[in-house]
Chains A and B, each alone.
Chain A
């Protein structure tokens, strides 16, 4: 039988028919079928204890900060995220709604969700330069005998000093997921 014909027939068949049109060529991985892409792809960390929709939100924000995502870029389509991660579509929708509430993304009917604002304060070339000088500093710290925990502690402490000297609000930094309610 002609399978590809079956697929294309279905595609003309109505709004519910949205099987990928490349028939058997993708075989099992056809489940991970991707549209014309988004610059990023999601992953899940089951051990993090962070709710799934928040993990997606954080990953978009992270990508915005680092310049992987720019205004106008498309976020992964809901269907693609569902296929890739086997998560509930409502979870993806909730994450995108949260990003819309934050003003970072906007839905376009029939097309998907697109980045609307940026979180990165500096452009990609500057980021690259800053990263390079940070790597130099890390090499020096490593040479002086600091281990990773020591480096993180020193950086956090220096950042705190920096904020205090500027008199700005002491940034709480990337806090843990624990809520302390007192």
Chain B
């Protein structure tokens, strides 16, 4: 018997569905979007790292992190525009300022952070002794929300695996962004100058794993969307890559010959970056899987009705 085939005269053990078909629509977003989650996170967190390095007088780290932030804000709009059904109308996003739309706020945030980051990156490239100022502060202050708003963007939806994770997803995204910024710095900075990036990478991996664990626990049955299929594969890959990076960072705490230290740092950086990409893909794919399953939509709503103690 099809799932929709029973009448409601006896209480159902499990909610009925319409021939097992989805209630909500899956996203129409293309691969540019998870890559944008990554590049936007890289840009935002790199701006924070770069600003801190500028103020701390760590010149090499500052210059390279500004370059990373610059790359992130340069790539991000391209990805976003390419994903649109009507790319020529990208600027329609900026014809209004709309607080109810995380995507609209995000477009403004990206534009504002992009401006500040480009200015700060240019000033730091020109002046090797620069100690930091308003552009750095602005880029960092806008960089942190740039790294986390994409979690609001997807949790502000009818996709159960996203919307029910609205408390945890921003922490997962912030940590993943921090890991990618640390990774980019580790790839490009001399080991002697990279101590803050190593510390950031290690703590980001820890927070990301903890936030992911908490998210799965809070999601209950819905967490299967993150554990099965493509989302599950990306999730496992991300965890393996991030934990391997953390292992390398721990190994790098000992005194090592410069060459070995450089190789180790670069390897940890590459692992952190790919781990962050995989994390975004895992979350992205989980949305599709969750939308596909009508029970993921209906069951939490039924439970809500049950908690209120009412009928439909």
- A in complex with B: no
